[in-house]
Amino acid sequence: MKIERVEGKVFAHTTNQVADTDGHAHPGPEQQTRSALLVITCDDGTTGQVIARPGDVEEPLLDKFVRPVLLGSDPMRPEHIWQALYKWQRGSGMKLTDRVLCAVDLALWDLIGKATGQPVWKLLGGYHDKILAYGSTMCGDDLEGGLATPDDYGRFAEWMVRDRGYQAIKLHGWMPPIPGAPSVKKDYAACAAVREAVGPDIPLMLDPNHWYSRADSLWLCQRLEELGFLWIEEMMEEASLSSYQWLNARTPRLNILGPETMAGKHWTRAEWAASGACDMLRTGVWDVGGISPALKTAKLAEGFHMSCEVHGTGAGNMAVVAAIPNTTFYERGLLHPFIDYDVPKAYQNRIDDEMDSAGYVHFRDEPGLGQDLNLDYIEANLV
């Protein structure tokens, strides 16, 4: 079996989310947007595919970097292919991003699962067959009844636990262009409101999106220690490793999780673990370049007796979460009072991460990544 075709298909669909001027997602009026499908096809007709952003599968990228590596290759050697693509990155002028590596890696693993008749999460180790999800909120906004005030966060958190079944919650606070954001005091007010709403036993986490100084981060971490939060992530620029070492040494009762978006794949995460910059390691397929480096991050975390928490939603991250023993939750979101997360997108027959009333995401036995895509819709709406 050899790879004979690599295609990127961009298609139009509707969405009820908009991005603000700083790129944060919020609810909005229904409008047109674009996504992409990366498809890898072998000479026996076996295919692997994954939903990606259009920029991750642009034709010049596929033609110059991806096809020369994949065409004619054995798809059952994903590590060999990943390493070959990784070696292209240095000479690509920053065009061959980790997100491109991730899209290719996910499509390859989907193909491998379909070729073997097995779900990817079992091929990777299959430690969990279900896991608790935490509800991950959108960033704060100025929408009446949305996430505009600390009380809004409290009411939404109460609904998430009481009515939807979440057993843990992570907040994203207010970010520019919201006036006055970011603010450690406003973040703390939202965290305090959520703790009061859900009681002392629900694990809570905060992601402030790396805007704060050492002094502000320490003040906020000390307040979260008082509230009994489980972890905080990305409260400062992650390129400053020494700042996280400094902060971690001063917050004994709050876990520091990281790095999330810092470049360097599993190598950067190894440095964080070895240098005491965090208590828990962060990975995610779109952050580190695919399933292969995400699993390496989890294994090195296990070697330090650390948990490895996986960033982001979707089938690729679900496969990693299911495969590894040293993780706590699956991140489900982003969530907002005005958006029904459980409704499939136009190109889906069902969402990737259906959750039961007890807060568990179950891992399916379909071969491949387990995405159930409406391929007829995608083909009918190609751009």
Q: What is the pLDDT of residues 92-124, one digit of tens each?
A: 999 999 999 999 999 999 999 999 999 999 999
Helices (H) and strands (E) in the chain, counts: 14, 12
Percentage, residues of the chain above pLDDT 90: 98
Give residue 338's pLDDT band: very low, low, confident or very high (50, 70, 90): very high
Mind listing the pLDDT tens digit for each residue in 117-168?
Answer: 999 999 999 999 999 999 999 999 999 999 999 999 999 999 999 999 999 9
pLDDT > 90? residue 231: yes
Q: Which residue has the tokens 């709403």?
A: 197
pLDDT > 90? residue 227: yes
Lowest mean pLDDT among 14-28, 47-61, 225-239, 329-343: 14-28
Give residue 65's pLDDT band: very low, low, confident or very high (50, 70, 90): very high
Q: What single-letter DSSP state applies at residue 311? A: P
Lowest mean pLDDT among 15-24, 58-67, 149-158: 15-24
pLDDT > 90? residue 374: yes
Strand ranges in the chain using DSSP code E only, listed in sequence order: 3-19, 25-42, 47-52, 130-137, 169-172, 204-207, 231-233, 255-258, 280-283, 308-310, 330-335, 360-362
Is 230 in contact with 205 (CB distance < 8 Å)? yes
Report the C-alpha gap between 311 and 295 in whole angstroms. 13
Percentage, residues of the chain above pLDDT 70: 100
Lowest mean pLDDT among 20-34, 282-296, 342-356: 20-34
What are the strands of the beta sheet with 47-52, ordered from one edge?
Answer: 3-19, 25-42, 47-52
pLDDT > 90? residue 210: no
pLDDT > 90? residue 38: yes
Is 208 in contact with 220 (CB distance < 8 Å)? yes
**Residue 54: exposure state from Cβ atoms within 10 A (0-12, 13-18, ≥19):** middle
Report the C-alpha gap between 204 and 232 in whole angstroms. 9
- Residue 334: is the preceding peptide bond cis (ω within 30°)? yes
Structure tokens at 140: 């704060």
In Å, how far are 218, 271, 288 from 245, measured between CA atoms?
A: 12, 11, 22
Of residues 279, 274, 277, the one with CA closest to residue 307: 279
Report the C-alpha gap between 357 and 331 in whole angstroms. 16
At residue 108, the pLDDT reads 98
* 288-306 burial code (b ≥16 CB/10 A, e <16): bbbbbbbbbbbebbbeeeb
Of residues 238, 239, 217, 221, the one with CA closest to residue 230: 221
CB neighbours (10 Å) of residue 184?
A: 21
Of residues 112, 7, 66, the one with CA closest to residue 379: 7
At residue 209, the pLDDT reads 84
- Residue 259: is the preceding peptide bond cis (ω within 30°)? yes
Of residues 54, 66, 74, the one with CA closest to residue 9: 54
Is 187 in contact with 208 (CB distance < 8 Å)? yes
| Helix, coil or strand: residue 159 | helix
At residue 128, the pLDDT reads 97
DSSP string covering 165-223: --S-EEEE---TTSTT-S-HHHHHHHHHHHHHHH-TTS-EEEE--S---HHHHHHHHHH
Mean pLDDT of the chain: 97
At residue 211, the pLDDT reads 85
Q: Give 205's contacts (C-beta < 8 A, 6+ positions apart).
A: 134, 168, 169, 170, 171, 229, 230, 231, 232, 233, 257
Report the C-alpha gap between 222 and 235 in whole angstroms. 13
Is 291 in contact with 320 (CB distance < 8 Å)? yes
pTM for the complete prediction?
0.97
CB neighbours (10 Å) of residue 283?
A: 28
